[in-house]
Amino acid sequence: MRKKIALVNQRYGLEVNGGSELHCRQLAEKLIDIYDVEVITTCALDYITWDNYYPEGLSEINGITVRRFKTDKSRDMKAFDSLSGKVFSAEKNDRDVESWLDEQGPYSPECVEYLRAHYADYDVVIFMTYLYYITARCLGEGGIPNAFLLPTAHDEPPIYIPYYKRVFKNAKGIIYNTTEERTFCEKMFGIGSTPNIIAGVGVDVPDESTLFDAKARYGLDDYIIYIGRIDESKGCGTLFKYFEEYKKRVGGDVKLVLVGKSVMDIPKRDDIIPLGFVTDEEKFSLIRDAKLLVLASEFESLSMVVLESMVYGRPVLVNGKCMVLKGHCHRSNAGLYFENYFEFEGALKYLLTHDAECERMGENGKRYVNENYRWDVIVERIKGLIDSYNG
């Protein structure tokens, strides 16, 4: 008799292309061959407001049963940012933290109540990620004895809120994405004895026949590419500043192509090209034809776009202040990292002018992903953790 598992995530749908949300969808569609899988989520599509978009209740996406609950209020980002400043300071109190967890959202008490009442309908309930309201309330306050956690955790201000220690302590099993994430969490929360695995994410790419010449379609010559939410929290402000300074000091014809939804102002320049949301075929065509992928974020728990770039033999240039991204570069020998502007300038200049070395780095990246991020290996590791749990 097949076990039944639930995956819990803040958003879910074909229109949702965020990191943990896409990870959840991919994982559900891989695990359905082994388990009866249900996804428990909200009706939200937009991660800024959490406004309801999808209908409540049961639906099916790519063969996966999806159970949705409405959010009870929108998030006011200005008020939330103000509250965050208080919560991340030494002056915070318990009431501030409680309010912050609710405002973080997506605020869906009905979803939390369902999980507390129906956890026994599932052999294991896997919460993704640690940060948001549903995971925080369900794990932080206990009451779900078969809860596993896929935290996607990294060194960022919220994880230092004392409340989250309870979230990690109450997990019966933990699924990490990287060695750096496990080391950080075990040191942070003293959870070294909790059963765990390092799994990560498999890399799915479309058939080569579906791709096209990105340079021809978009009228591009040499370009570097950024993929993800265009946001200060993703280091995009730093990226724009460094790229503009590079063009001033070094020059050249290279352009910066941006793929993803923007929630900040983008400099209006001929050599910075925002394309907005694109299809998978467009994304992978753009990756394949780029000189390299650049990522200035300090806060990543894995970074799927780094792995996707490596699949296509594209070197990566990443923020060395992020231990996960730095770790990818060290283990793969497929990328360079920077911690200030002059390191950025030197690394970018090197990658743009050393084609033979970049080709070798590209081969290293392909090998790294093949050895560490294949779905068959990842699914087997997760299966081992789930099947070892006896409740």
Identity of the amino acid at 233: S
Domain count, the chain: 2
Which residues in the chain land under pLDDT 50? none
Identity of the amino acid at 242: Y
pLDDT digit string, tens, across residues 64-78: 999 999 999 999 998
Residues 183 and 239 in one domain: no
Strand 124-127's sheet: what is its strand order? 57-61, 64-69, 36-42, 4-8, 124-127, 147-149, 173-176, 196-198
| H helix runs in the chain, sequence order | 19-31, 77-87, 94-104, 109-118, 133-140, 163-169, 179-189, 214-218, 236-249, 280-289, 304-311, 323-332, 341-353, 355-372, 375-388
Phi, psi of 341 (to 5 degrees): -60, -45
Give me the count of residues in the chain. 391
Check: CB of residue 56 under 8 Å from CB of residue 69: yes
Residues 329 and 381 in one domain: no
The Cα–Cα gap between 290 and 255 comes to 10
Residues 277 and 230 in one domain: yes
Residues 164 and 267 in one domain: no
The Cα–Cα gap between 304 and 214 comes to 21
Identity of the amino acid at 224: I
Check: CB of residue 133 under 8 Å from CB of residue 105: yes
The pLDDT, as a whole number, for residue 208 is: 87
The Cα–Cα gap between 40 and 341 comes to 43
Residues 129 and 236 in one domain: no
The token pair at 48 is 């800024």
Residues 124 and 249 in one domain: no
Residue 208: CB atoms within 10 A of its CB come to: 9
Strand 335-338's sheet: what is its strand order? 272-274, 255-259, 223-227, 292-295, 316-319, 335-338
Which three-class secondary structure state does DSSP give residue 244? helix
Check: CB of residue 256 under 8 Å from CB of residue 271: yes
Nearest to 302 by CA among 203, 167, 235: 203
Residues 228 and 260 in one domain: yes
The pLDDT, as a whole number, for residue 105 is: 95
DSSP string of 38-91?
EEEEESB--TTT--B-SPSEEEEETTEEEEEE--SS---HHHHHHHHHHHTSTT
Helices 304-311 + 280-289 axis angle, to 10: 60
User: Which pTM value belongs to this model?
Assistant: 0.81
Sign of CA dihedral 170, 175, 181, 187: positive
Residues 34 and 144 in one domain: yes
pLDDT digit string, tens, across residues 288-339: 999 999 999 998 888 889 999 999 999 999 999 999 999 999 999 999 999 9
The pLDDT, as a whole number, for residue 18 is: 67
Residues 186 and 218 in one domain: no
Residues 89 and 195 in one domain: yes
The pLDDT, as a whole number, for residue 90 is: 77
The residues, any chain, with a CB within 8 Å of residue 185's CB and separated by 6 or more, are: 151, 153, 168, 174, 176, 191
Write the CA distances from 28 to 77, 181, 379, integer angstroms. 31, 22, 10
Residues 146 and 262 in one domain: no
Exposure string for 230-263, b = 16+ CB within 10 A, e = fewer: beeebbbebbbebbeebbeeeeeebbbbbbbbee
Residues 180 and 286 in one domain: no
Check: CB of residue 176 under 8 Å from CB of residue 198: yes
Domain that holds residue 149: 4-202+374-388
CATH number at residue 185: 3.40.50.2000
